[in-house]
Amino acid sequence: MPTPEAPTSKAPAPAKRSAPIDPEQACPIAPVVDIVFSRWTTPILWALNEYGRQRFVELERSISSITPKVLTQRLRQLERDGLVVRTYHTEVPPRVEYEISDLGRSLAPLFASLSQWATTNLDKVDRARRDYDTRPTR
């Protein structure tokens, strides 16, 4: 007569750990933030949206704290991203103009929402910063 096998106590297999999720890749708006909210993008897009087509020098004057080198870099990136249109006129001397594209204009509701948020909440942020900065150190 066969002997019954003794029950074995087998511990459950440890759960497989998945690789940690990179928040920058998991967050669906991270690429948008990278494109739209880099240091000079919003002032450039705002100026082009507010004042229309402009030459480089006009943009440079309207954003007085930007250097020509950085303005050139940002305009090239914005053109590459499809947010700005660059028009080269073959005249003597040559003339180049920049304007916001339809894709760039499509950001207007986002900027309007952020503007409203800023109007409503920036004083609260300032208060929170003051409170934080003045509290005793632990």
Structure confidence at residue 42 (pLDDT): 92
Which residues, at least 6 apart from 115, have a Cβ–Cβ distance to it below 8 Å?
none
pLDDT digits (tens, 9 = 90+) for 27-59: 888 888 888 888 899 999 999 999 999 999 999
**What pLDDT is stored for residue 70 in this prediction?**
96
Mean pLDDT throughout 63-74? 94
Q: Report which DSSP code applies to 53.
A: S
- Domain residue spans in the chain? 27-106
Of 77 and 10, more confident: 77
Does the bond joining 93 to the residue before it have cis omega, within 30 degrees of 0?
yes
Residue 113 scores a pLDDT above 80:
yes
Name the β-bridge partners of 95. 89
Q: Model-level pTM greater than 0.85?
A: no
Q: How many CA atoms lie within 13 A of 36 on its CB side?
A: 16
What are the structure tokens assigned to 92, written together? Answer: 């003597």
Q: What's the confidence (pLDDT) of residue 106?
A: 95
Return the number of other C-beta atoms located less than 10 Å from residue 72's C-beta: 13
Amino acid (one-letter) located at 114: L
Cα 30 to its chain centre, rounded Å, is 7
CATH level 3 topology of 27-106: Arc Repressor Mutant, subunit A (1.10.10)
Which percentage of the chain shows pLDDT scores above 70?
Answer: 84
pLDDT value at position 6?
52
Tokens of 60: 């440079």
